[in-house]
């Protein structure tokens, strides 16, 4: 178009230029001076045409850019505004913060035992945990955590303590876990089976009121504390000392864990007793097939070892714990033992078991449900052993062979299917023929959510 426009203008100018000398021939010859003037006028006209073409191109480019910007703004305006992420923590500028916490676990299943034992078996269900609480920060480097369990007929206090952050060390005062066992210290939210290993409950591991210090630096973790009893038993004279040491090296992407713990509990009363017993894998039954019954005791001493590895989708862990009871009237003090060996594997790509601070942590699915995936799927196997017979005490032996399948559609939701076969020796519930060696089957399903 530019070329056509320029040629038309030049043609008009040339016609005028040629016509002028032709007409002038009738009047007088054209002089060289007149020709030079006309050539200069023609050159000025060409320059003006070039200038106008440049201005036209700039105006067109500016209009196109403006039209593009208007279209982009219109498209952006048509898109819905993204919803802001909900605030998980309410925070103030002066160092205060408040984070609500909670979990809900519902279990259902069955237990199959020999009929003549009189065991409470068959169908069972329960709200395993219905927990509400909060945690946060306080000015000056202090923090707090409090949780109440609403399951059952009473409101129980779980964690209830305040802490001080001293850099690599944290000091805690109040009711919290003393330092026994990787399995016990791992939150129930992140366990691989419907219930923890049998020895943790049998030997009475629980939260207690006390003061402790946790020190972590590099691959080293050290924990120690002095404790009394829990909120429900503050009238007792229990005084315990607990300690745990963990090494947490990494080899490439493989996380290793090696630990050990010691526990000493002075019962502090002349007529004090202890009792060690355990359910058959699931919690919704009150039946125990292994049970030492009440033992007169002055004190308890426990020692445990623990090891674990996490490598991509695979994990394995193992523990052993020995519990010795100082019985004042016994010729020999009984030494009971519990332990387990476990392995698990994720069937979904990219998923792995979480680990933090010397314990297993939350699994976060690589591809959650609703975000292009199905969540994480994990299969686990465990051999669980508990021996409550020693030094004349016949509490029975429980050998558990267990399997679980866990599905996490998202980070805070879990569904779990569990099966356990418990083989008993010297069970405390005999059959009608006096048999105490038999097997019990347990099946349980859990639905779980937390925030």
Nearest 10 degrees: CA dihedral of 446, 281, 119, 155? Answer: -60
| pLDDT of the residue at 35 | 66
Residue entry with tokens 């097997």:
439
| Domain CATH for 398 | 2.40.160.10
195 and 317, same domain (yes or no): yes
Closest to 196 in 3D by CA, of 351, 336, 402, 346 = 402
338 and 193, same domain (yes or no): yes
Say if 435 falls within a structural domain: yes
Residue 17's Cβ-count burial label (10 Å; 0-12, 13-18, 19+) is middle
The continuous run of DSSP H or E covering 132 comes out as: strand 122-138
The continuous run of DSSP H or E covering 315 comes out as: strand 314-326
> For the chain, what is the radius of gyration of the CA atoms?
40
Query: Which of 75, 109, 136 finishes a domain?
Result: 75
Per residue in 114-169, pLDDT (tens digit) is 999 999 899 999 999 999 999 999 999 999 999 999 987 789 999 999 999 999 99
Residue 62: pLDDT over 70: no
Confidence tier at 270 by pLDDT (50, 70, 90): confident
Per residue in 351-408, pLDDT (tens digit) is 999 999 999 999 999 999 999 899 999 999 999 999 999 999 999 999 999 999 999 9
Degrees to nearest 5, angle at CA 99 with 228 and 414: 85
The secondary structure of residue 179, as a DSSP letter, is S
CA 374 to chain centre: 17
| Mean pLDDT value across residues 196-212 | 97
CA distance 321 to 183: 11
Q: How far apart are the first and last CA of the chain?
A: 69
- Domain of 351 in residue numbering reads as 96-450
Per residue in 209-265, pLDDT (tens digit) is 999 999 999 999 999 999 999 988 888 889 999 999 999 999 999 999 999 999 999
Residue 432: pLDDT over 90: yes
Query: Which of 12, 40, 75 finishes a domain?
Result: 75
| pLDDT of the residue at 153 | 77
62 and 169, same domain (yes or no): no
Cβ within 8 Å of residue 291, ≥6 positions away: 275, 276, 277, 278, 388, 395, 396, 428
Per residue in 317-333, pLDDT (tens digit) is 999 999 999 999 899 99
Token pair of 368, please?
Answer: 């959650």
Closest to 156 in 3D by CA, of 147, 169, 143, 164 = 147
Phi, psi of 436 (to 5 degrees): -120, 5
Say if 276 falls within a structural domain: yes
DSSP-based three-state secondary structure for 430: coil
| Mean pLDDT value across residues 404-414 | 98
Strands 207-217 and 169-177: antiparallel
267 and 167, same domain (yes or no): yes
CA distance 360 to 346: 15
CA distance 71 to 60: 17
| pLDDT of the residue at 99 | 95
Confidence tier at 291 by pLDDT (50, 70, 90): very high
The continuous run of DSSP H or E covering 3 comes out as: helix 2-27
| pLDDT of the residue at 16 | 43
Closest to 47 in 3D by CA, of 10, 1, 15 = 10
Do 450 and 88 contact (CB within 8 A), yes or no?
no
434 and 386, same domain (yes or no): yes
397 and 436, same domain (yes or no): yes
| pLDDT of the residue at 333 | 97
More confident residue, 34 or 292: 292
62 and 104, same domain (yes or no): no
CA distance 130 to 448: 10
CA distance 275 to 327: 12
Say if 32 falls within a structural domain: yes
| Mean pLDDT value across residues 271-295 | 97
How much of the chain exceeds pLDDT 90, in percent? 74
Say if 90 falls within a structural domain: no
CA distance 260 to 221: 11
Say if 301 falls within a structural domain: yes
Do 375 and 369 contact (CB within 8 A), yes or no?
yes
248 and 379, same domain (yes or no): yes
Say if 177 falls within a structural domain: yes
| pLDDT of the residue at 117 | 95
What length does the chain have? 451
Say if 372 falls within a structural domain: yes
CA distance 197 to 393: 22
Residue entry with tokens 């191109």:
57
| pLDDT of the residue at 65 | 65
Degrees to nearest 5, angle at CA 341 with 338 and 347: 145
| Mean pLDDT value across residues 423-447 | 98
Residue entry with tokens 């005490």:
393
106 and 141, same domain (yes or no): yes
Domain count, the chain: 2
63 and 131, same domain (yes or no): no
Token pair of 265, please?
Answer: 């509990």
Per residue in 6-58, pLDDT (tens digit) is 444 444 444 444 444 433 444 344 566 766 776 666 666 556 666 666 666 67
| pLDDT of the residue at 11 | 43
CA distance 120 to 233: 28
Query: Which of 75, 104, 123 finishes a domain?
Result: 75
| pLDDT of the residue at 94 | 81
Say if 81 falls within a structural domain: no
pTM confidence score: 0.80
206 and 306, same domain (yes or no): yes
71 and 178, same domain (yes or no): no
Do 201 and 278 contact (CB within 8 A), yes or no?
yes
Per residue in 64-119, pLDDT (tens digit) is 766 666 555 555 444 444 444 444 556 666 889 999 999 999 999 999 999 999 99
């Amino acid at each position: 178009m530019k070329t056509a426009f320029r040629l038309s203008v030049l043609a008009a100018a040339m016609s005028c230029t040629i016509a002028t000398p032709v007409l002038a021939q009738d009047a007088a010859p054209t002089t060289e001076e007149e020709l030079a003037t006309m050539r200069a006028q023609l050159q000025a006209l060409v320059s003006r045409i070039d200038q106008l073409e440049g201005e036209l191109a700039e105006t067109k480019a500016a209009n196109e850019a403006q039209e593009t910007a208007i279209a982009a703004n219109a498209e952006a305006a048509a898109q819905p505004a993204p919803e802001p992420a909900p605030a998980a923590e309410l925070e103030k500028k002066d160092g205060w913060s408040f984070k609500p916490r909670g979990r809900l676990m519902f279990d259902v299943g069955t237990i199959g035992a020999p009929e003549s034992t009189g065991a409470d078996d068959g169908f069972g269900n329960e709200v395993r945990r219905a927990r509400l609480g909060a945690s946060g920060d306080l000015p000056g480097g202090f923090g707090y955590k409090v949780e109440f369990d609403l399951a059952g007929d009473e409101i129980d206090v779980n964690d209830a303590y305040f802490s001080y952050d001293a850099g690599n060390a944290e000091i805690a005062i109040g009711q919290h876990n003393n330092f026994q066992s990787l399995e016990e210290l791992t939150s129930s939210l992140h366990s691989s089976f419907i219930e923890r290993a049998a020895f943790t409950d049998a030997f009475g591991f629980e939260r207690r009121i006390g003061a402790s210090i946790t020190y972590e630096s590099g691959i080293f973790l050290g924990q120690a504390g002095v404790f009394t009893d829990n909120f429900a038993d503050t009238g007792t004279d229990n005084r315990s000392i607990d300690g745990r040491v963990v090494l947490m090296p990494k080899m490439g992407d493989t996380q290793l864990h090696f630990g050990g713990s010691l526990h000493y509990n002075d019962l502090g009363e002349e007529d004090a007793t202890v009792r060690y017993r355990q359910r058959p894998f699931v919690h919704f039954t009150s039946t125990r097939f292994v049970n030492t019954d009440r033992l007169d005791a002055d004190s308890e001493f426990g020692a445990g070892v623990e090891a674990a590895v996490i490598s991509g989708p695979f994990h394995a862990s193992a523990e052993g714990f020995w519990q010795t009871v100082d019985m004042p009237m016994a010729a020999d003090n009984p030494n009971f033992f519990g332990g387990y060996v476990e392995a698990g594997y994720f069937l979904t790509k990219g998923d792995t078991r979480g680990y933090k601070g010397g314990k297993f942590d939350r699994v976060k699915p690589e591809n959650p449900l609703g975000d292009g995936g199905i969540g994480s799927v994990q299969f686990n196997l465990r051999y669980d052993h508990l021996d409550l017979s020693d030094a004349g005490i016949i509490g029975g032996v429980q050998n558990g062979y267990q399997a679980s399948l866990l599905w996490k559609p998202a980070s805070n939701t879990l569904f779990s299917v569990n099966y356990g076969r418990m083989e008993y020796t010297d069970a405390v519930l005999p059959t009608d023929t006096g048999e105490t060696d038999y097997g019990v089957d347990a099946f349980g399903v859990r639905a779980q959510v937390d925030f």
